[in-house]
Structure 1
Amino acid sequence: MSNPRVFIAGPQSFLRPTYHGFIRTTSDVFLLLGMCLNGRLCHVPRRPYPRERPHTIQSGNVFIYEEDISGIQQWTDGINWSPSYILGDFLIYRETEPGLPRDAENEKAIRTTLVATTTTGSKPEAAAPRFRRIPDPVDYERLCLEDQELYGQNIHSYSYKPDGLVKKTTTVSVEGVFHHLVSYYTAEAVRSGRLQTPTGDPQFCGINPRIILIRDPSLQIPLEQEEFRMLRLGRRRMRHLCSVRRAGRRRQTGGKEHKPSPQ
Protein backbone atom coordinates (compact mmCIF):
# COMPACT_ATOMS: atom_id res chain seq x y z
CA MET A 1 0.00 0.00 0.00
CA SER A 2 1.40 3.39 -0.96
CA ASN A 3 1.97 6.06 1.65
CA PRO A 4 -1.09 8.36 1.77
CA ARG A 5 1.08 11.47 1.85
CA VAL A 6 2.45 10.85 -1.65
CA PHE A 7 0.27 11.02 -4.74
CA ILE A 8 1.47 8.79 -7.56
CA ALA A 9 0.92 9.47 -11.24
CA GLY A 10 -2.03 7.86 -12.91
CA PRO A 11 -5.17 8.58 -14.89
CA GLN A 12 -7.53 10.67 -12.80
CA SER A 13 -10.18 13.28 -13.40
CA PHE A 14 -9.91 14.97 -10.02
CA LEU A 15 -6.88 17.18 -9.37
CA ARG A 16 -4.72 15.85 -6.58
CA PRO A 17 -1.77 17.54 -4.86
CA THR A 18 1.83 16.56 -5.40
CA TYR A 19 2.39 15.99 -1.68
CA HIS A 20 0.72 16.45 1.68
CA GLY A 21 2.79 18.05 4.43
CA PHE A 22 4.56 21.25 5.43
CA ILE A 23 7.28 22.98 3.37
CA ARG A 24 9.61 24.45 5.95
CA THR A 25 12.86 25.03 4.04
CA THR A 26 14.34 25.08 0.56
CA SER A 27 15.65 21.57 1.22
CA ASP A 28 12.03 20.40 1.35
CA VAL A 29 11.40 22.05 -2.02
CA PHE A 30 14.47 20.46 -3.61
CA LEU A 31 13.56 17.04 -2.28
CA LEU A 32 10.03 17.13 -3.70
CA LEU A 33 11.13 18.63 -7.01
CA GLY A 34 13.82 15.98 -7.36
CA MET A 35 11.19 13.30 -6.80
CA CYS A 36 9.03 14.90 -9.50
CA LEU A 37 11.93 14.96 -11.95
CA ASN A 38 12.62 11.29 -11.16
CA GLY A 39 9.00 10.37 -11.80
CA ARG A 40 8.24 9.28 -8.22
CA LEU A 41 5.97 12.27 -7.63
CA CYS A 42 3.81 14.18 -10.08
CA HIS A 43 3.61 17.72 -11.30
CA VAL A 44 0.02 18.91 -11.39
CA PRO A 45 -1.17 19.44 -14.98
CA ARG A 46 -3.54 22.34 -14.34
CA ARG A 47 -5.10 24.67 -11.80
CA PRO A 48 -8.03 23.43 -9.73
CA TYR A 49 -11.44 24.04 -11.22
CA PRO A 50 -13.79 26.18 -9.09
CA ARG A 51 -15.81 23.10 -8.13
CA GLU A 52 -12.62 21.37 -6.92
CA ARG A 53 -11.30 24.18 -4.77
CA PRO A 54 -13.15 23.32 -1.53
CA HIS A 55 -11.55 19.85 -1.62
CA THR A 56 -8.11 20.64 -3.01
CA ILE A 57 -7.22 23.99 -1.41
CA GLN A 58 -6.74 22.62 2.08
CA SER A 59 -4.11 22.72 4.79
CA GLY A 60 -1.17 20.46 4.00
CA ASN A 61 -1.65 20.23 0.25
CA VAL A 62 1.41 21.01 -1.87
CA PHE A 63 1.24 21.56 -5.62
CA ILE A 64 4.20 21.63 -8.01
CA TYR A 65 3.66 22.54 -11.65
CA GLU A 66 5.91 23.15 -14.64
CA GLU A 67 5.15 26.48 -16.24
CA ASP A 68 5.56 25.57 -19.92
CA ILE A 69 3.89 22.15 -19.99
CA SER A 70 0.94 23.11 -17.78
CA GLY A 71 0.42 26.48 -19.43
CA ILE A 72 -0.32 27.98 -16.01
CA GLN A 73 0.62 31.64 -16.05
CA GLN A 74 -0.86 32.38 -12.64
CA TRP A 75 -2.07 30.00 -9.94
CA THR A 76 -5.61 30.86 -8.81
CA ASP A 77 -7.53 29.33 -5.92
CA GLY A 78 -10.46 31.68 -5.26
CA ILE A 79 -9.23 32.78 -1.81
CA ASN A 80 -8.66 36.35 -0.62
CA TRP A 81 -5.01 36.80 0.29
CA SER A 82 -2.99 39.49 2.00
CA PRO A 83 -0.06 41.15 0.22
CA SER A 84 2.96 38.86 0.01
CA TYR A 85 5.94 38.92 2.32
CA ILE A 86 9.38 37.63 1.35
CA LEU A 87 10.76 34.98 3.70
CA GLY A 88 14.06 33.76 2.29
CA ASP A 89 13.25 32.16 -1.06
CA PHE A 90 9.52 32.00 -0.31
CA LEU A 91 6.55 34.32 -0.62
CA ILE A 92 4.08 34.14 2.27
CA TYR A 93 0.39 35.09 2.02
CA ARG A 94 -2.28 34.98 4.72
CA GLU A 95 -5.98 34.45 4.17
CA THR A 96 -8.05 37.58 4.77
CA GLU A 97 -11.70 38.18 5.53
CA PRO A 98 -14.03 37.84 2.50
CA GLY A 99 -15.07 41.51 2.67
CA LEU A 100 -11.61 42.78 1.67
CA PRO A 101 -10.65 43.70 -1.93
CA ARG A 102 -9.90 40.64 -4.09
CA ASP A 103 -6.64 42.16 -5.34
CA ALA A 104 -4.50 41.48 -2.29
CA GLU A 105 -1.49 43.14 -3.89
CA ASN A 106 -3.18 46.50 -3.60
CA GLU A 107 -1.98 47.37 -0.12
CA LYS A 108 -3.54 50.82 -0.17
CA ALA A 109 -6.96 49.42 -1.03
CA ILE A 110 -6.85 47.02 1.90
CA ARG A 111 -5.82 49.70 4.37
CA THR A 112 -8.52 52.05 3.01
CA THR A 113 -11.17 49.37 3.44
CA LEU A 114 -10.16 48.77 7.05
CA VAL A 115 -10.26 52.47 7.88
CA ALA A 116 -13.63 52.98 6.18
CA THR A 117 -15.12 49.96 7.95
CA THR A 118 -14.13 51.13 11.41
CA THR A 119 -14.91 54.85 10.99
CA THR A 120 -18.07 55.06 8.87
CA GLY A 121 -21.36 55.83 10.65
CA SER A 122 -22.36 57.44 13.92
CA LYS A 123 -21.23 54.44 15.96
CA PRO A 124 -17.82 53.23 14.72
CA GLU A 125 -17.73 50.48 17.32
CA ALA A 126 -20.72 48.80 15.65
CA ALA A 127 -18.67 48.07 12.51
CA ALA A 128 -15.61 46.84 14.36
CA PRO A 129 -16.70 43.18 14.86
CA ARG A 130 -16.58 42.68 11.10
CA PHE A 131 -12.80 42.57 11.20
CA ARG A 132 -10.38 41.02 13.65
CA ARG A 133 -7.48 43.43 13.99
CA ILE A 134 -3.93 42.22 14.50
CA PRO A 135 -0.85 43.96 15.92
CA ASP A 136 0.98 46.72 14.06
CA PRO A 137 4.64 46.19 13.10
CA VAL A 138 5.74 47.88 16.35
CA ASP A 139 4.42 44.81 18.19
CA TYR A 140 6.49 42.43 16.08
CA GLU A 141 8.93 41.56 18.86
CA ARG A 142 6.06 40.39 21.03
CA LEU A 143 4.98 37.76 18.56
CA CYS A 144 5.90 34.16 19.21
CA LEU A 145 9.01 33.06 17.34
CA GLU A 146 7.01 30.24 15.81
CA ASP A 147 4.67 32.80 14.30
CA GLN A 148 7.65 34.50 12.65
CA GLU A 149 8.52 31.24 10.93
CA LEU A 150 4.93 30.49 9.89
CA TYR A 151 3.87 34.00 8.88
CA GLY A 152 7.15 35.83 8.31
CA GLN A 153 6.70 39.52 9.08
CA ASN A 154 3.31 39.61 7.40
CA ILE A 155 1.73 41.33 10.42
CA HIS A 156 0.54 44.69 9.08
CA SER A 157 -2.87 46.03 10.06
CA TYR A 158 -4.86 43.75 7.80
CA SER A 159 -7.83 41.68 8.82
CA TYR A 160 -6.76 38.06 8.73
CA LYS A 161 -9.32 35.30 8.85
CA PRO A 162 -9.22 33.54 12.24
CA ASP A 163 -7.53 30.15 11.81
CA GLY A 164 -7.25 30.92 8.10
CA LEU A 165 -4.91 29.38 5.58
CA VAL A 166 -1.36 30.46 4.84
CA LYS A 167 -0.02 30.14 1.30
CA LYS A 168 3.72 29.62 0.80
CA THR A 169 5.14 29.71 -2.73
CA THR A 170 8.48 29.57 -4.49
CA THR A 171 9.91 29.06 -7.99
CA VAL A 172 12.94 27.03 -9.02
CA SER A 173 14.58 27.10 -12.45
CA VAL A 174 16.06 23.81 -13.65
CA GLU A 175 18.02 24.12 -16.90
CA GLY A 176 15.85 27.03 -17.98
CA VAL A 177 12.54 25.39 -17.05
CA PHE A 178 10.53 27.04 -14.29
CA HIS A 179 8.93 24.84 -11.65
CA HIS A 180 6.49 26.50 -9.25
CA LEU A 181 5.55 25.23 -5.79
CA VAL A 182 2.37 26.34 -4.02
CA SER A 183 1.68 25.02 -0.53
CA TYR A 184 -1.07 25.62 2.02
CA TYR A 185 -1.16 25.18 5.77
CA THR A 186 -2.65 26.46 8.99
CA ALA A 187 -0.51 27.43 11.94
CA GLU A 188 -2.43 25.04 14.19
CA ALA A 189 -1.76 22.08 11.89
CA VAL A 190 1.98 22.81 11.88
CA ARG A 191 2.23 23.38 15.64
CA SER A 192 0.31 20.21 16.41
CA GLY A 193 2.73 18.14 14.34
CA ARG A 194 0.06 16.83 11.98
CA LEU A 195 2.00 18.03 8.93
CA GLN A 196 5.27 16.26 8.18
CA THR A 197 8.10 17.99 6.31
CA PRO A 198 9.51 16.13 3.30
CA THR A 199 13.02 16.12 4.80
CA GLY A 200 11.58 14.59 7.97
CA ASP A 201 9.46 12.04 6.13
CA PRO A 202 10.75 8.47 6.73
CA GLN A 203 9.84 7.40 3.20
CA PHE A 204 12.40 9.87 1.83
CA CYS A 205 15.18 8.78 4.19
CA GLY A 206 18.55 8.67 2.44
CA ILE A 207 17.36 10.64 -0.60
CA ASN A 208 19.39 13.77 -1.30
CA PRO A 209 18.41 16.68 -3.58
CA ARG A 210 20.04 16.86 -6.99
CA ILE A 211 23.26 18.85 -7.16
CA ILE A 212 21.83 20.96 -10.01
CA LEU A 213 19.10 22.13 -7.62
CA ILE A 214 21.39 22.87 -4.70
CA ARG A 215 23.60 25.05 -6.91
CA ASP A 216 20.70 27.03 -8.35
CA PRO A 217 22.09 30.59 -8.75
CA SER A 218 18.61 32.12 -8.46
CA LEU A 219 18.37 31.28 -4.75
CA GLN A 220 18.12 34.31 -2.52
CA ILE A 221 19.62 32.38 0.38
CA PRO A 222 22.12 29.55 -0.31
CA LEU A 223 21.14 26.21 1.18
CA GLU A 224 23.93 26.27 3.74
CA GLN A 225 22.91 29.72 4.98
CA GLU A 226 19.28 28.64 5.27
CA GLU A 227 20.23 25.63 7.40
CA PHE A 228 22.27 27.93 9.64
CA ARG A 229 19.30 30.31 9.87
CA MET A 230 17.00 27.48 10.98
CA LEU A 231 19.54 26.41 13.62
CA ARG A 232 19.81 29.97 14.89
CA LEU A 233 16.02 30.27 14.96
CA GLY A 234 15.87 27.11 17.08
CA ARG A 235 18.32 28.60 19.56
CA ARG A 236 16.30 31.83 19.71
CA ARG A 237 13.20 29.78 20.46
CA MET A 238 14.97 28.07 23.35
CA ARG A 239 16.16 31.38 24.81
CA HIS A 240 12.67 32.82 24.40
CA LEU A 241 11.11 29.81 26.15
CA CYS A 242 13.58 30.09 29.04
CA SER A 243 12.86 33.81 29.47
CA VAL A 244 9.10 33.13 29.52
CA ARG A 245 9.55 30.46 32.17
CA ARG A 246 11.72 32.75 34.30
CA ALA A 247 9.13 35.52 34.04
CA GLY A 248 6.43 33.07 35.13
CA ARG A 249 8.44 32.00 38.16
CA ARG A 250 9.03 35.62 39.14
CA ARG A 251 5.30 36.34 38.99
CA GLN A 252 4.57 33.33 41.19
CA THR A 253 7.14 34.39 43.79
CA GLY A 254 6.16 38.06 43.90
CA GLY A 255 8.89 39.37 41.62
CA LYS A 256 11.73 37.31 43.09
CA GLU A 257 12.98 34.30 41.23
CA HIS A 258 13.31 31.31 43.54
CA LYS A 259 16.78 29.86 43.82
CA PRO A 260 17.36 26.48 45.45
CA SER A 261 19.17 26.71 48.76
CA PRO A 262 22.62 25.11 48.95
CA GLN A 263 22.73 21.67 50.50
Structure 2
Amino acid sequence: MITSNSCSLDVPYFHGYMETMMDALQLIYAARQGIIPCITRRLNHMERGVMIKSSAIFNFTYKQSGNSYCFNVDGLLWSRSRIVGNFLVYWQINEHASGQGRYTGAEARNVPIYCNSLELSSGYKRGLTTQSGGEQGTLEPNALIKKTVTITIEGSNFHLISYYSSEDICNGRLKRPLSHPDVMELYMPPSIFRLTKFRVPPKIEIGPDGKPHFM
Protein backbone atom coordinates (compact mmCIF):
# COMPACT_ATOMS: atom_id res chain seq x y z
CA MET A 1 0.00 0.00 0.00
CA ILE A 2 1.50 3.32 -1.07
CA THR A 3 0.12 6.40 0.68
CA SER A 4 0.99 10.06 0.69
CA ASN A 5 -0.53 12.89 2.69
CA SER A 6 1.01 15.59 0.53
CA CYS A 7 3.22 16.10 -2.51
CA SER A 8 6.68 16.46 -0.96
CA LEU A 9 10.06 14.77 -0.70
CA ASP A 10 9.19 13.71 2.85
CA VAL A 11 7.61 10.60 1.29
CA PRO A 12 9.45 8.03 -0.86
CA TYR A 13 9.30 8.08 -4.63
CA PHE A 14 7.29 5.39 -6.40
CA HIS A 15 9.18 2.11 -6.86
CA GLY A 16 8.69 0.17 -10.09
CA TYR A 17 8.72 0.99 -13.78
CA MET A 18 6.46 2.55 -16.37
CA GLU A 19 5.89 0.35 -19.42
CA THR A 20 2.69 1.55 -21.10
CA MET A 21 0.68 4.73 -21.49
CA MET A 22 -1.93 3.25 -19.14
CA ASP A 23 0.80 2.91 -16.50
CA ALA A 24 1.66 6.59 -16.95
CA LEU A 25 -1.97 7.74 -16.72
CA GLN A 26 -2.51 5.68 -13.57
CA LEU A 27 0.63 7.03 -11.90
CA ILE A 28 -0.17 10.65 -12.73
CA TYR A 29 -3.76 10.35 -11.58
CA ALA A 30 -2.72 8.56 -8.36
CA ALA A 31 -0.24 11.36 -7.63
CA ARG A 32 -2.94 13.96 -8.21
CA GLN A 33 -5.17 12.10 -5.75
CA GLY A 34 -2.40 11.95 -3.13
CA ILE A 35 -2.04 8.16 -3.32
CA ILE A 36 1.60 8.23 -4.44
CA PRO A 37 4.27 10.94 -4.04
CA CYS A 38 4.93 13.83 -6.38
CA ILE A 39 7.87 16.22 -6.39
CA THR A 40 7.49 19.94 -5.77
CA ARG A 41 11.09 21.15 -6.06
CA ARG A 42 14.41 20.37 -7.70
CA LEU A 43 16.39 17.49 -6.20
CA ASN A 44 19.61 18.60 -4.51
CA HIS A 45 23.00 16.98 -5.11
CA MET A 46 22.74 14.53 -2.20
CA GLU A 47 19.20 13.48 -3.15
CA ARG A 48 20.28 12.85 -6.74
CA GLY A 49 23.03 10.51 -5.58
CA VAL A 50 20.63 8.49 -3.43
CA MET A 51 17.37 8.59 -5.38
CA ILE A 52 18.33 8.47 -9.08
CA LYS A 53 18.56 4.73 -9.68
CA SER A 54 16.79 1.85 -11.37
CA SER A 55 13.26 1.50 -9.92
CA ALA A 56 12.73 5.22 -9.21
CA ILE A 57 9.68 6.96 -10.70
CA PHE A 58 9.20 10.69 -10.09
CA ASN A 59 6.12 12.86 -10.62
CA PHE A 60 6.75 16.57 -11.12
CA THR A 61 4.11 19.28 -11.39
CA TYR A 62 4.89 22.40 -13.42
CA LYS A 63 2.86 24.82 -11.33
CA GLN A 64 4.71 23.82 -8.17
CA SER A 65 8.21 22.95 -9.37
CA GLY A 66 8.69 25.14 -12.43
CA ASN A 67 9.04 24.05 -16.05
CA SER A 68 12.83 23.77 -16.17
CA TYR A 69 13.02 21.60 -13.04
CA CYS A 70 11.15 18.78 -14.70
CA PHE A 71 13.60 18.12 -17.51
CA ASN A 72 17.02 18.32 -15.82
CA VAL A 73 16.73 16.68 -12.42
CA ASP A 74 19.48 14.06 -12.31
CA GLY A 75 22.73 15.66 -13.49
CA LEU A 76 23.61 12.56 -15.56
CA LEU A 77 24.79 12.39 -19.16
CA TRP A 78 22.23 10.95 -21.59
CA SER A 79 21.96 9.95 -25.23
CA ARG A 80 19.68 11.86 -27.54
CA SER A 81 16.01 11.12 -26.97
CA ARG A 82 14.19 8.44 -28.93
CA ILE A 83 10.45 8.88 -29.48
CA VAL A 84 8.57 5.71 -28.52
CA GLY A 85 4.83 6.27 -28.80
CA ASN A 86 4.05 9.06 -26.35
CA PHE A 87 7.33 8.61 -24.48
CA LEU A 88 10.88 9.92 -24.82
CA VAL A 89 13.56 7.32 -24.00
CA TYR A 90 17.22 8.04 -23.13
CA TRP A 91 20.28 5.87 -22.34
CA GLN A 92 22.93 6.85 -19.81
CA ILE A 93 26.32 7.35 -21.43
CA ASN A 94 29.85 7.92 -20.15
CA GLU A 95 31.55 11.24 -20.70
CA HIS A 96 33.79 11.13 -23.77
CA ALA A 97 37.34 10.03 -23.05
CA SER A 98 40.39 9.79 -25.30
CA GLY A 99 40.44 6.61 -27.35
CA GLN A 100 36.81 5.70 -26.67
CA GLY A 101 35.46 7.29 -29.83
CA ARG A 102 32.04 8.78 -30.42
CA TYR A 103 28.84 7.28 -29.08
CA THR A 104 26.71 6.55 -32.16
CA GLY A 105 24.14 4.24 -30.63
CA ALA A 106 25.80 1.05 -31.88
CA GLU A 107 26.31 -0.08 -28.28
CA ALA A 108 22.61 0.33 -27.59
CA ARG A 109 21.73 -2.28 -30.19
CA ASN A 110 22.78 -4.92 -27.67
CA VAL A 111 20.72 -3.45 -24.82
CA PRO A 112 17.28 -5.08 -24.38
CA ILE A 113 14.73 -2.49 -23.31
CA TYR A 114 11.90 -4.79 -22.26
CA CYS A 115 11.41 -8.51 -21.95
CA ASN A 116 7.87 -8.96 -23.21
CA SER A 117 7.04 -10.07 -26.73
CA LEU A 118 5.21 -6.86 -27.67
CA GLU A 119 8.07 -4.48 -27.01
CA LEU A 120 10.76 -6.80 -28.36
CA SER A 121 9.14 -6.89 -31.80
CA SER A 122 11.70 -6.03 -34.48
CA GLY A 123 10.22 -2.67 -35.40
CA TYR A 124 9.80 -1.58 -31.80
CA LYS A 125 13.30 -2.65 -30.84
CA ARG A 126 14.86 -0.85 -33.82
CA GLY A 127 13.06 2.31 -32.78
CA LEU A 128 14.53 2.10 -29.29
CA THR A 129 18.07 1.12 -30.16
CA THR A 130 18.95 3.13 -33.25
CA GLN A 131 20.45 6.51 -32.39
CA SER A 132 21.76 9.20 -34.73
CA GLY A 133 25.48 9.86 -34.63
CA GLY A 134 27.44 12.80 -33.29
CA GLU A 135 27.14 12.22 -29.54
CA GLN A 136 30.20 12.05 -27.33
CA GLY A 137 30.78 9.19 -24.93
CA THR A 138 30.10 5.48 -24.64
CA LEU A 139 27.15 3.55 -23.28
CA GLU A 140 27.34 2.86 -19.53
CA PRO A 141 27.66 -0.84 -18.54
CA ASN A 142 24.14 -2.07 -17.74
CA ALA A 143 23.07 1.41 -18.82
CA LEU A 144 20.43 3.23 -16.82
CA ILE A 145 17.45 4.06 -19.01
CA LYS A 146 15.22 7.11 -18.56
CA LYS A 147 11.66 7.17 -19.89
CA THR A 148 9.60 10.37 -19.71
CA VAL A 149 6.15 11.67 -20.59
CA THR A 150 4.20 14.86 -19.88
CA ILE A 151 0.48 14.64 -19.14
CA THR A 152 -1.98 17.51 -18.60
CA ILE A 153 -4.89 17.14 -16.16
CA GLU A 154 -7.36 20.03 -15.93
CA GLY A 155 -4.71 22.57 -16.88
CA SER A 156 -1.95 21.23 -14.61
CA ASN A 157 1.09 19.68 -16.29
CA PHE A 158 2.61 16.54 -14.77
CA HIS A 159 6.01 15.28 -15.91
CA LEU A 160 6.69 11.60 -15.20
CA ILE A 161 10.25 10.21 -15.20
CA SER A 162 10.94 6.48 -14.87
CA TYR A 163 14.49 5.18 -14.34
CA TYR A 164 15.29 1.51 -14.84
CA SER A 165 17.85 -0.93 -16.21
CA SER A 166 17.09 -3.64 -18.73
CA GLU A 167 18.65 -6.19 -16.36
CA ASP A 168 16.18 -5.30 -13.61
CA ILE A 169 13.26 -5.56 -16.03
CA CYS A 170 14.34 -8.90 -17.49
CA ASN A 171 14.99 -10.38 -14.05
CA GLY A 172 11.57 -9.33 -12.79
CA ARG A 173 12.89 -7.02 -10.07
CA LEU A 174 10.60 -4.12 -10.99
CA LYS A 175 6.82 -4.12 -10.99
CA ARG A 176 4.34 -2.07 -12.98
CA PRO A 177 1.59 0.00 -11.28
CA LEU A 178 -0.92 -2.80 -11.90
CA SER A 179 0.68 -4.66 -8.98
CA HIS A 180 -0.57 -1.93 -6.62
CA PRO A 181 -4.32 -2.27 -5.88
CA ASP A 182 -4.53 1.24 -4.43
CA VAL A 183 -3.45 2.61 -7.82
CA MET A 184 -5.37 0.20 -10.03
CA GLU A 185 -8.68 0.67 -8.20
CA LEU A 186 -8.83 4.40 -8.97
CA TYR A 187 -11.36 5.40 -11.62
CA MET A 188 -9.78 7.81 -14.09
CA PRO A 189 -12.39 9.98 -15.88
CA PRO A 190 -10.87 10.47 -19.37
CA SER A 191 -12.47 13.90 -19.68
CA ILE A 192 -10.01 15.49 -17.23
CA PHE A 193 -6.97 14.58 -19.39
CA ARG A 194 -5.84 16.70 -22.33
CA LEU A 195 -5.60 13.84 -24.82
CA THR A 196 -4.96 16.03 -27.89
CA LYS A 197 -1.33 16.49 -26.77
CA PHE A 198 -0.52 12.80 -27.26
CA ARG A 199 1.09 11.50 -30.45
CA VAL A 200 -0.80 8.24 -29.88
CA PRO A 201 -4.02 9.05 -27.96
CA PRO A 202 -5.28 6.22 -25.71
CA LYS A 203 -8.52 4.53 -26.71
CA ILE A 204 -11.69 5.15 -24.69
CA GLU A 205 -14.68 2.82 -24.42
CA ILE A 206 -17.85 2.76 -22.34
CA GLY A 207 -17.55 0.10 -19.64
CA PRO A 208 -20.20 -2.14 -18.05
CA ASP A 209 -20.76 0.58 -15.44
CA GLY A 210 -21.82 2.99 -18.18
CA LYS A 211 -18.74 5.19 -17.66
CA PRO A 212 -15.97 5.93 -20.19
CA HIS A 213 -12.73 4.07 -19.48
CA PHE A 214 -9.25 4.05 -20.99
CA MET A 215 -8.56 0.80 -22.81
Q: How does the TM-score come out when normalised to structure 1?
A: 0.61
Q: Distance in 2 between matches of 1:11 and 1:210?
A: 21
1:88-115 deviation per Cα after TM superposition (whole angstroms, max 9, x unaligned): 0100010001237xxxxxxxxxxxxxxx
Of residues 186, 190, 194 in structure 2, which corresponds to 1:211? 190
Q: Taking every aligned residue pair, what percent have the same amino acid on both sides?
A: 25
Alignment match, 1:91: 88
1:63-104 deviation per Cα after TM superposition (whole angstroms, max 9, x unaligned): 11110112242432110000001000100010001237xxxx
Of residues 34, 53, 59 in structure 1, which corresponds to 2:29? 34
Of residues 46, 49, 59 in structure 1, which corresponds to 2:44? 49
Give the residue type in structure 2 aligned to 1:198. P
Of residues 138, 155, 160 in structure 2, which corresponds to 1:181? 160
Alignment match, 2:211: none
Query: Could you tell which deviates more after superposition, 82-91 or 202-211?
Result: 202-211
Decide whether the 8 Å contact of 1:88 with 1:221 is kept in 2: yes
Q: Is residue 2:68 matched to residue 1:63?
A: no
Q: Post-superposition shift, 1:30?
A: 0.9
* Distance change in 2, residues 1:203/1:192 (3 Å): farther
Give the residue type in structure 2 aligned to 1:79. L
Q: Is residue 2:145 matched to residue 1:171?
A: no
Query: Could you tell which deviates more after superposition, 181-190 or 36-45?
Result: 36-45
Q: Post-superposition shift, 1:154?
A: 3.7
Unaligned runs of 5+ in 2: 205-215
Alignment match, 1:114: none
The correspondence of residues 1-263 of structure 1 with structure 2, limited to 5 A, is: 3=1, 6=2, 8-9=4-5, 16-17=12-13, 19-73=14-68, 74-99=71-96, 117=98, 127-128=99-100, 135=106, 146=120, 152-156=127-131, 159-212=138-191, 216-224=195-203
Q: Distance in 2 between matches of 1:72 and 1:86?
A: 20
Q: Distance in 2 between matches of 1:76 and 1:150?
A: 27
Q: Post-superposition shift, 1:198?
A: 0.7
Unaligned runs of 5+ in 1: 101-116, 118-126, 226-263
Aligned length: 192
Give the residue type in structure 2 aligned to 1:21. G
What RMSD, in angstroms, separates the aligned Cα atoms of the two structures? Answer: 3.5
Give the residue type in structure 2 aligned to 1:35. A
Decide whether the 8 Å contact of 2:55 with 2:163 is kept in 1: yes
Query: Could you tell which deviates more after superposition, 42-51 or 187-196?
Result: 42-51
Relative to its length, the structure with more strand (as a share) is 2
1:147-198 deviation per Cα after TM superposition (whole angstroms, max 9, x unaligned): 9768943433562111021010010111222111111000011111111111
Q: Distance in 1 between matches of 2:186 and 2:84?
A: 26
Relative to its length, the structure with more helix (as a share) is 1
Q: Post-superposition shift, 1:132?
A: 8.2
Q: Distance in 1 between matches of 2:170 and 2:91?
A: 17
Give 3-state SS (helix, strand or coil) of 1:43's partner: coil
Bigger Cα Rg:
1
Q: Distance in 2 between matches of 1:60 and 1:151?
A: 24
Decide whether the 8 Å contact of 2:35 with 2:183 is kept in 1: no
Q: Distance in 1 between matches of 2:188 and 2:177?
A: 11
